[in-house]
Amino acid sequence: MKCIVLPEKLDYDGSQISSLWAYNSFGVQEDSIIIFRGACDVKIEHMIDLEDRRANESIWSEDMLNFIIEHFDSTDLKLVYARQRLFTAIVKERLAGLGIHTSREGDDLFLDGKKLTVSIASTSAVSQKIHFGMNVSHEVYGSLKEAGVEDDRSIVRLMQEIGDAYVREFEDMEKDLRKSRPLGVV
């Protein structure tokens, strides 16, 4: 699995959750997590969550960390939602390591009762995709700035640590798969 933290800012508009975005944009053909910082403004045509779409909700942030995850081993929707929740738990753990205590409800993290993150998972004919966004600053919702994390170096370090932790989790699972015997085999 490849982890790439983009050095330049890139705005998230929802098109990045399309299949093979990492390959089309960066030549990455393997499972990947691409991480970048920028504004977020998801247009209705790119909205995956049908509840949000039906309610004509807006997904917007002036400054957000964006994590785009793609796995090619399955197109199982239940599995990608499990992976999304695992990723959310990893983010919560990393934030706790910085002294930032959040609460988790499903795939969302909350800071002092205010929603800190947005996330969606889905599948296509070739892969599973996850978008996870975390506000760096926001006037209404929770943000890293509100939690005291606002200098660029700390934010870049956090982006890298979260991406590396997710990759390590999958590398560790692969090792476990290769050491476990099937049930009923002696």
pTM of the model: 0.92
Furthest-apart CA atoms within the chain: distance in Å = 60
Structural domain span for residue 42: 2-172
How many domains in the chain?
Answer: 1
The verdict on residue 55 lying in a domain is yes
The verdict on residue 179 lying in a domain is no
Distance between CA atoms of 143 and 141, rounded to whole angstroms? 6
Eight-state DSSP code of residue 170: H
- Per-residue model confidence as pLDDT tens digits over 151-177: 999 999 999 999 999 999 999 999 998
The verdict on residue 140 lying in a domain is yes
- Per-residue model confidence as pLDDT tens digits over 32-85: 999 999 999 887 555 565 565 455 566 889 999 999 999 999 999 999 999 999
The verdict on residue 26 lying in a domain is yes
Of the two residues 184 and 125, the one the predictor is more confident about is 125
- Per-residue model confidence as pLDDT tens digits over 126-156: 999 999 999 999 999 999 999 999 899 999 9
The verdict on residue 16 lying in a domain is yes
What CATH number has the domain bearing residue 110?
3.30.930.10
The verdict on residue 185 lying in a domain is no
- Per-residue model confidence as pLDDT tens digits over 79-104: 999 999 999 999 999 999 999 999 99
Give the SS3 label for residue 138. Answer: coil
Asked if 66 contacts 131 with a C-beta cutoff of 8 angstroms, the reply is yes
At 121 the pLDDT is 94
